[in-house]
Amino acid sequence: MKAAEIYRNTAAHVNRFIWSRRMQRVKMAALGQHTNDGWIARIMIYFLLSVLAYLYLQPLFYIVSTMFKNLNDLLDPTVKWIPRTIDLENLRTAWLGLNYPEAFMNTITIALACSVIQVFICAMTGYALAKLPFPGKGIVTFLIMLTFLVPPQIIIIPLYVVYSKLGLLNTPLVFIIPAFLGQGIRSALFIIIFRQFFKTQPATLEEAAKLDGASSGRLFFKIMLPLARSACLVVFLFSFIWYWNMYYEPSMFLQNDYLPLSISLNRLDEVLTGLPKGYVDAVLGSNPVSEAPKMAAAFLIIFPPLLVYVFLQRWFVEGIERTGLVE
Amino acid sequence: MKITRQRHKGFLRYQLQQYGVGYLFILPWAIGFCMLIAIPLGWSLFMSFNKVVPSQGGFKYNFIGLQNFKDAFVKDNVFPIQLIEYVQEMLIMIPVIVIFSLLVSLLLNQSFPGRFLFRAVFFLPVIFATGQVLTELFSQNAGKIPFLDQYDLEPVIRSYVGQEFAKPILSVLNKTIIVLWYSGVQILIYIAGYQTIPKSVYEAIRIDGASPWDSFWKITLPAMVPFISLNALYTIVDLFTFPLNPVLEHVKNNMFKPDTGYGYATALAWIYFAIIFVLLALVLWMFNRSTKRRGDGR
């Protein structure tokens, strides 16, 4: 009799123990040991990120879906995302309206040339600020910060006069020469990125190179610049994309012959309707007929940088982590 | 004696040479700064005190003192309103962008399968958040957040917040996509920032029995303060040159009006610049104080 009772007690104990272990395991699985390895946390993360990712991608979807709509689909409220027929006519209109091959060449000339130059010049300046001794470094750093804050709108008119005196207007040189002089698009930011990067490099490297008799120029080009590959990539990509998308400066400096894509997009309405821009805006408002070609044009514009990004994305993210954009 | 002097001379020469190298490296930047920043800045400041009339082969300047600045607030019936509205909007947008990108970067910093895919999506805005494409999207109303219309939130907000505040809040909500799209670089900066916190600190605090919640408030957030301030500054500068900015549009329109001209337009731009500068100084001062109080000189 007693033995049976002891047995029952023990069995209950063991059962309870097993049960609590099981509960704990479920709890562990659900909530996790750290923040992020339980499945509740994981589902939350995925859910939040998916919603946000949808919001991010929505305009992109909008561009692509509108691009393929013909007029009937555009005016039909029941057609929201997927057009009934895939209409490539818009793409053709946009191609012709943007004068795509020429505008593309113009844009890519400016973007490529300027961003390559900018990588070199900003690396040089950043290196000097991080590693080379010279009096007045503090002032230079302060002035660089200041240039980051000066809005282009303040100095655009004097710049316009300067460039027109030099005869640079309506040529790509109007962007290439400033890039050479370290005043390209957001160059201050890039100089600071390079400065932070070179600061993290140990001084022993330079000392060793100097002992081996390398000149400063050689030291910079043969040792420091290759070391800064990840920073170079980040700067190049940012710079390329910002030059590609730049609108304000070209709208001032490149008005006649040398049109980049962003300006052509702005003028698409005029080209398509043959009416002056102000008239189109005032009378037609947002013109539904030109909506689809415009989106096709937008797609044509963002497609090349998108392609570049897809290929360089992996290194880009790694590079950002490694550049040590640290204060 | 002679030897030491010679040595001293040699050292001096060496140092000068070193300085020379440094100056050589920043020479292009220095020339660019003088030609393309300093002179135009001084010139535009000079212009803002003048009535500038384009004449043959140049400009004619009539000095009118502070008249342009006075006109901006007294005569112009568009500029002050636009300015106040835009600053109001920015004051809401900046914290929203900074906090939003902090949260997203926190999520993206967790390790989970498929992270690189999400990261790729979230850096996408860096590619075309600038420029004409976005403007075009906005003119077609594609920049709206879909929930706002679906659930008809507008009257709800209006009745709860009050007319005065509802306007900027609604305009921010209408630009939610912009908020999202303008936080790409900020997310990048935060993620780079997380890499500066050593893993061992987290391990130590976990062994001490802190929950992840604690470790966020005690470790992550304090370490991120410099990056938050960097992002706040970047956001201000970024919004400042926003493509849809009504104030800058107004400045640009005034440039080519015959009765107002360049002088007036630059005066407007300087007023705008001054306001942003004050804002930046305020943010810098605030963050400096908060880091000093914590007692580490970052």
Q: What is the CATH number of the domain that holds A196?
A: 1.10.3720.10
Q: Name the percent of chain A lying above pLDDT 90.
A: 6
Q: A259 falls in which pLDDT band (50, 70, 90)?
A: confident
| Residue labelled with tokens 């994305």 | A313
CA A67 distance to own-chain centroid: 23
CA nearest to A130 within chain B: B22
| Positions of chain B with pLDDT under 50 | 295-298
Q: Which of A51, A157, A193 to mutate to test the interface with B (most CBs of B within 10 A)?
A: A157
Number of domains chain A contains = 1
pLDDT at A118: 93
pLDDT of B56: 65
Does any domain span residue A215?
yes
Is residue A88 in a domain?
A: no
Q: Are A112 and A305 in contact (CB under 8 A)?
A: no
Q: Which residue has the higher pLDDT, B139 or A174?
A: A174
How much is the pLDDT for B58?
A: 66
For the residues A188-215, what does the mean pLDDT come to?
A: 84
In 3-state terms chain A splits into helix, strand, coil percentages (rounded to 5) of: 80, 0, 20
pLDDT at residue A73, rounded to an integer: 72
| B 204-243: CB under 8 A from A | 206, 212, 226-227, 230, 237, 240-241, 243
Residue B184 contacts A, CB cutoff 8 Å: no
Distance CA A215, CA B139 (A): 56
pLDDT-derived band of residue A168, with 50, 70 and 90 as boundaries? confident
What are the helix and strand counts (H, E) for chain B?
16, 2
What pLDDT does A1 receive? 63
Domain annotation covers residue A79 = no
pLDDT at position B298 is 39
Would the pLDDT of A113 be above 90? yes
Residue A142 lies in a domain: yes
Kindly state whether residue A291 falls inside one of the protein's structural domains. Answer: no
CB pairs A-B closer than 8 Å: 237
Which chain B residue has its CA at the smallest distance from A57's CA? B121
Q: How many CB atoms lie within 10 A of CB B23?
A: 16
**Record: contact A121-B181, CB cut-off 8 A:** no
**Nearest chain A Cα to B274, which residue?**
A150
Confidence tier at A117 by pLDDT (50, 70, 90) = very high
Residue A20 lies in a domain: no
Q: What is the pLDDT of residue A324?
A: 53
Q: How far B15 CA sits from the closest chain A CA (Å)?
A: 9
Portion of chain A with pLDDT greater than 70, in percent: 87
pLDDT for A321 beyond 80: no
Q: Cβ separation of B116 and A314 shorter than 8 Å?
A: yes
B55 touches chain A (CB under 8 A): no
Q: Would the pTM count as exceeding 0.95? A: no
Complex ipTM value: 0.77
pLDDT, mean of residues A294-314? 82
Q: What pLDDT score does A33 carry? A: 53
Residues of B within 8 A of A158 (CB-CB) are 39-41, 43-44, 47
The yes-or-no verdict on residue A192 having pLDDT over 60 is yes
The DSSP-derived string for A241-279 is HHHHH--HHHHHH--SS---HHHHHHTHHHHHH-S-HHH
Give A86→chain B minimum CA distance, Å: 21
Residue A317 lies in a domain: no
Mean pLDDT across the stretch A7-21? 87
More confident residue, B198 or A275: B198
- Report yes or no: A255 and A170 within 8 Å, Cβ to Cβ: yes
Contact A193, A144 (CB under 8 A): no
For the stretch A47-68, pLDDT in tens is 888 888 887 787 788 888 888 8
CB A225 within 8 A of CB A232: yes
Contacts (Cβ under 8 Å, ≥6 apart) of B23: A134, B30
Q: Per mean pLDDT, which range of A148-157, A164-173, B162-171 is the poorest?
A: B162-171
Tell me the HSE value of B234 on the side-chain side, using a 13 A CA sphere: 23
Q: Cβ distance B35 to A181 under 8 Å?
A: yes
- Give a yes or no: residue A284 inside a domain: no
In the predicted structure, residue A211 carries a pLDDT above the cut 80: yes
Q: Which domain holds residue A187?
A: 99-266
Q: What gap in Å lies between CA B53 and CA B256, rounded to an integer? A: 11
